[in-house]
Amino acid sequence: MKKLLFILGFGFFIPLLVISNTSLDADPPQVYIEVPDEVPADTPFNLTLSASEPVTYTIKYAGLELTEVAQNYTLSLLAAEGLQTLEVSAMDGSKNQSSYSYEVYGIATLKASMSLSESVVAGSPTSIKVAWPADGLQPSSVAVYVNGVLEPLYQKGNEAIALAGIPLGSPSQTVPVQAVLADSYGRTVTLNKQLTVVADEREVENLNLTETTYSVVTAEAQEREREALDGAYQSARTRPLPLWREPFVIPIEGRMTSGYGTPRRYISGGNVSFHTGADIAAPQGTPIRASNDGVVLISNFYPIKGGLTVIDHGASVFSFYFHQSKFLVQVGDTVKRGQIIGEVGTTGLSTGPHLHWEMQINGVPTNPLDWVDKLLP
């Protein structure tokens, strides 16, 4: 009996409602909604709404709430990080309302950090490491600039490592170091730090070479050597990763006659240039050892550098051995740390048997002794 009464009562109520509302609309509006379920955070995404009739939309997303009267409506929203709820409600002129709720996941931007040494002496190597969480979003590209110069780098797991040579003769100054990372969504993250460069001030060494000795230095000879090196650097691009696993070794035992980085004048009244390697005097024929693992890029005689071997150690790091009398390796050979590659001589611009040993990063000379007894980077 009770149940029957209820039904009767309800049936009576509806006609009353119809009478009081002349528009006769009891149906809530239907809304077709297009929204992505995953979006890169900090970038805009579109929310597209199409209703069956004109409505008042109320949209709530990541702390934002707005209303708009429309039937078809497209809105650009700035994606927030993490799981966010997007709520849409639509109300028609008869106050009929429909509500919709979606979960939108905002993919976080790259979380990266950069580390480098605080200061470096002019003419020395330095390394810059950019790291990001191994389990998060991975960068699609990483670039490192030291004082505006793009440095070669290589990736190892969730780190990118750049080796840079601070040019000889650089004054004491603070230079900007910048890392730019991009992700596959086109977003970039820029990290900025400062590097203090300390000048290496030294007195000019006057070599007072005779005209005959210095006569090998001609514009033509310099051009020929430069071309050979440019070609070698090009072929080295195929080895972006370091081939070395241990610190570098000094290629020969002997007396250091002219240190790296000394400003020198070859002839009286001549121009001052920096000594880009370390000179080690040793008897003619003393075996020269590869300072580390690598691949022979050059093994040939040149007018100024004399008998020259260049070894590519990967990661844009090269070792140079000048003034040799004899070669014991060929271009393309893979060499091991400590392997004999040639013999000491006095070929090219030289006044006695010695080895000029040079260490370059991407064509920039660095102090060879900085590579000994410690593992870089």
Rounded to 5 degrees, φ, ψ at 287 are -65, 140
The stretch among 88-96, 156-164, 276-284, 309-317 that binds Zn ion (CB under 5 A) is 276-284
For residue 258, the minimal CB distance to Zn ion (Å) is 6
User: Which one, 277 or 377, has the nearer CB to Zn ion?
Assistant: 277
Count of residues in contact with Zn ion, rule CB under 5 A: 3
Q: Which is nearer to Zn ion, 50 or 257 (CB)?
A: 257
Task: Check: CB of residue 142 under 8 Å from CB of residue 181.
Answer: yes
Q: How many CA atoms lie within 13 A of 254 on its CB side?
A: 25
Q: Taking CB under 5 A as the rule, does residue 279 contact Zn ion?
A: yes
> What is the DSSP secondary-structure string of 215-276?
TT--HHHHHHHHHHHHHHHHHHTT--S----S-B--SS-SEEEE-TT-EEESSTT--EEE--
Residue range at the interface with Zn ion (CB under 5 A); choices 37-45, 147-155, 326-334, 349-357: 349-357
- Please state the closest distance from residue 162 (CB atom) to Zn ion, in A: 28
Instruction: With beta carbons less than 8 A apart as the criterion, state whether 154 and 166 touch.
Output: no
Q: How far is the CB of 308 from Zn ion (least distance, A)?
A: 12
What Å distances lie between residue 35 and 11, 45, 101, 174, 282, CA to CA?
41, 8, 11, 48, 75
Task: Decide whether 139 or 261 has the Cβ nearer to Zn ion.
Answer: 261
40 vs 348 by CB, closer to Zn ion: 348
Does 356 participate in binding Zn ion (rule CB under 5 A)?
A: yes
Query: Is the Cβ of residue 239 or residue 356 nearer to Zn ion in the bound state?
Result: 356
Largest CA distance in the chain: 129
Q: Which residue has the tokens 């190892």?
A: 156
Is residue 264 a contact residue for Zn ion (CB under 5 A)? no
Closer to Zn ion at the Cβ: 29 or 277? 277
Contact in structure between 114 and 177 (CB atoms under 8 Å)? yes
Q: Does 358 help bind Zn ion (rule: CB under 5 A)?
A: no
Minimal distance, residue 178 CB to Zn ion, in Å: 34
Using the rule CB under 5 A, is 305 a contact of Zn ion? Answer: no
Residues lying near Zn ion in the complex (CB under 5 A): 277, 279, 356
